[in-house]
Amino acid sequence: MTRTLTALSARRRHPMAVVVLIALALLLVGGLYAALSPREARATTATASADDIQTGKELFLANCSTCHGLDAQGGPVVDGKNPGPSLIGVGAASVDFQVGTGRMPLAQSGAQAPEVDKIRFSQEQIDQMAAYIASLAPGPAVPTEEQLDTSGVSDEEVARGAAIFRTNCAMCHNSQGKGGALTAGKYAPDLTGTSAKHIYEAMQTGPQSMPVFNDNNISPDDKTAIIAWLTDRGGEDTRPDPGGLTLGSLGPVSEGLVAWIAGIGALIGVSVWLGMKSS
């Protein structure tokens, strides 16, 4: 032991010592990160068993049937308003989106169901409810891992996805996907941080005010390309910002605010200085 330490100590001034030390440190940090970082949650795509459908039905009856009806046929119309639409034929994708983003169960009625951070169901429970709804009538299924994998999307496809986004999505969700206002308190939400799965499902099912973009309108490959552009292809920057200061990418609202307050403020400051007498 002593001999080893002495040997190490003797070599500590060796030119390669720094390189070796850095390599060791990198290995240590990387290893720790790999061991300790949280694993990405993976959606279970196992085919639904009869048990799942039964459990899903029980969950549905306990949590959703008040508004959507005991057989998911839609709630009773009261005062000309339908508290909950029929869920027959909306498909598993719709359930996974609405419950998975916390929009359902709806806490209170309003202009539209807001996204909620706290999801009240586990992914397993959501899958069971989705299986039950999917068993009622065919509808859009939850997208596969392959459809959500953006790593193989080429630059050309990302550009194509961006072009499709600009025509089909940008007028509501803003050219950078930052969201925007609709009528009567409704709004298109900010897409930053929305998971690939939920973006895909929203296109397929058209939740709330959003229209449906089925696979014949925007093909599955193009949907993946849009997601690749929106989510920066899983980390890398596919939406470079040459200006350097996006001001939230909100367009004239924040830009105008800065121009009026900072720009005109600076002009006023200079004018005051111009008119001031020197001390």
Partner 1 sequence: MSDIERADEAHGQPGSALAKPGGGVPDRFENPGLPPHRHRMGDTDPQAAKRAERQVAFFLLLSILGSIGIIVSIIAIKYDGSFERVSWSTKAIGLSMFLSLFALGVGAVHWAKTLMPDDERIDMRHRQRGTAAERAAAVAILKEGAGEAGLGRRPLIRNTLVGALALFPIPAVFFFRDTGPLPGNDLSTTMWEDGIHLVKDPEGGRIRAADVTLGSVVHVLPEGIEDVEHPLNEKAKSAVLIMRLEQDLLSEKQNEWGVDGTVAYSKICTHMGCPVALYEQQTHHLLCPCHQSTFDLTQDCKVIFGPAKRPLPQLPIAVDDEGYLVATSGFHEAVGPSFWERG
Judged by CB under 8 A, which of 182, 232, 234, 249 binds partner 1?
Answer: 182
Judged by CB under 8 A, which of 217, 253, 262, 263 binds partner 1?
Answer: 217
Asked if 279 touches partner 1 (CB under 8 A), the answer is yes
Asked if 212 touches partner 1 (CB under 8 A), the answer is yes
Q: Which residue stretch of 29-37, 38-46, 58-66, 209-217 sits at the interface with partner 1 (rule: CB under 8 A)?
A: 209-217
Q: Which residues pair with 187 in a beta bridge?
A: 181
Determine the residue type at 118.
Answer: K
Determine the residue type at 274.
Answer: L
Asked if 213 touches partner 1 (CB under 8 A), the answer is yes
Q: Which residue has the tokens 């039905």?
A: 57
Q: Which helix (H) or strand (E) holds 254?
A: helix 252-258
Q: Which residue stretch of 25-33, 45-53, 212-220, 256-264 sits at the interface with partner 1 (rule: CB under 8 A)?
A: 212-220
Q: Which residue has the tokens 């909620």?
A: 116
Binding mask 89-108 for partner 1 (x = CB under 8 A): --------------------
> Can you read off the two tokens belonging to residue 116?
């909620």
Asked if 185 touches partner 1 (CB under 8 A), the answer is no
Asked if 243 touches partner 1 (CB under 8 A), the answer is yes
Identify which of residues 35 and 184 has a Cβ nearer to partner 1 in the complex: 184
Whether the CB-CB separation of 72 and 60 falls below 8 Å is answered with yes
Asked if 74 touches partner 1 (CB under 8 A), the answer is no
Asked if 278 touches partner 1 (CB under 8 A), the answer is yes
Cα–Cα distances in angstroms (integers) from residue 214 to residues 3, 22, 95, 139, 272, in the given order: 72, 52, 16, 11, 60
Q: Which helix (H) or strand (E) holds 180?
A: strand 180-181
Rounded to 5°, the CA angle 120-122-127 comes to 115
Judged by CB under 8 A, which of 6, 214, 246, 271 binds partner 1?
Answer: 214
Whether the CB-CB separation of 186 and 113 falls below 8 Å is answered with no
Question: Site size for partner 1, by CB under 8 A?
Answer: 38
Q: How far apart are CA 92 and CA 130, in angstroms?
A: 4
Identify which of residues 48 and 226 has a Cβ nearer to partner 1 in the complex: 226
Q: Using CB under 8 A, list all residues that contact partner 1.
A: 160, 163-164, 166-168, 171-172, 180, 182-184, 186, 188, 206, 208-214, 216-219, 222, 240-244, 273-274, 276-279
